[in-house]
Chain A
Amino acid sequence: AAGVIQSPRHLIKEKRETATLKCYPIPRHDTVYWYQQGPGQDPQFLISFYEKMQSDKGSIPDRFSAQQFSDYHSELNMSSLELGDSALYFCASSLKGQITDTQYFGPGTRLTVL
C-alpha cells in the first residue's frame, strides 16, 4: 500500500539559509499534518491543512510557513535557519481530517543546521 512520502530524507543547511521540505500524502487523503521531533523529544505539532486550507496551528515559528497544493501535497518552508531547527520533521496524512481518522506518518526528513 502507498505510504506518505517525504523528501528529501536528509538535509544539511547552514545557519540563516532556507529549506523546503515536501510531503506527498497517501492517495485520496485530504489532510496533512507537520510535526517536529527534536533530539530525545516527542513529536511536536506544527501545522495542519485540510482541503488546502490551514486547519490548525501549533508551535510553528514565524520563520516557517507551509501550504497544501491542489494535488494535496504539502511543503514546509523554513527560513533564517537556526541551530535549534535541527530535528526530524514528520508529515502525516489522513482522510477527511476528522478527529477519529488515523494519521499515517511518513519516514521523516532529518534536517541538520550547521
Chain B
Amino acid sequence: DQQVKQNSPSLSVQEGRISILNCDYTNSMFDYFLWYKKYPAEGPTFLISISSIKDKNEDGRFTVFLNKSAKHLSLHIVPSQPGDSAVYFCAASSGTSYGKLTFGQGTILTVHP
C-alpha cells in the first residue's frame, strides 16, 4: 500500500526553466511533508519541508505547495540548473508516529544545459 505516490518516474527540463515535481498521499494523518534530493551513492539530502498548517513554503529557488483537500503537494524549482539533476523523493510523516518518514518512489529529474 503506497501511501505516498510520485506518479512521474522521470522529468526532463531545460536549464533556466521551471521544474515541477508532484506528489500525492492517501493517509490523512500525515501532517508534515518533506522533499529530499538524492545523488547516486549518496544519502538523501534534505531540501525543503512544509507543515500541514501552511500551503506554501519557499527557500531560494525551491518552493513547496501543499493542497490538503487534494492530498497533493508539489515542488517547484526555478530556475532549474544542471546540478539539480538527481532523484527527488517526497516524504511524509504523522504526529502519531514520531519522525517515521514514508517516502514516495522518487522522480528522476534531468536538467539539460
Residues of A bordering B, CB below 8 Å: 4, 31, 33, 35, 41-45, 48, 50, 55-56, 58, 90, 92, 94, 97-108
Contacts and interface: CB of A to CB of B under 8 A. Distances in A.
Contact of B44 (A45, A90, A97, A101): A90
A100 B105 CA distance: 22
Given A42-B89, A42-B106, A43-B89, A103 B41 contact: no
Given A43-B101, A55-B99, A56-B99, 11 more contacts: A33-B100, A43-B103, A45-B100, A48-B99, A94-B99, A97-B98, A98-B99, A99-B93, A101-B99, A102-B46, A105-B43
Contacts, number: 70
Interface residues of B, number: 27
A100 B43 contact: no
B34 A102 contact: yes
Contacts of A103: 34, 46, 99, 101
Contacts of B43: 4, 90, 92, 105-108
Interface in B3-59: 4, 31-32, 34, 36, 41-46, 49, 51
A113 B8 CA distance: 31
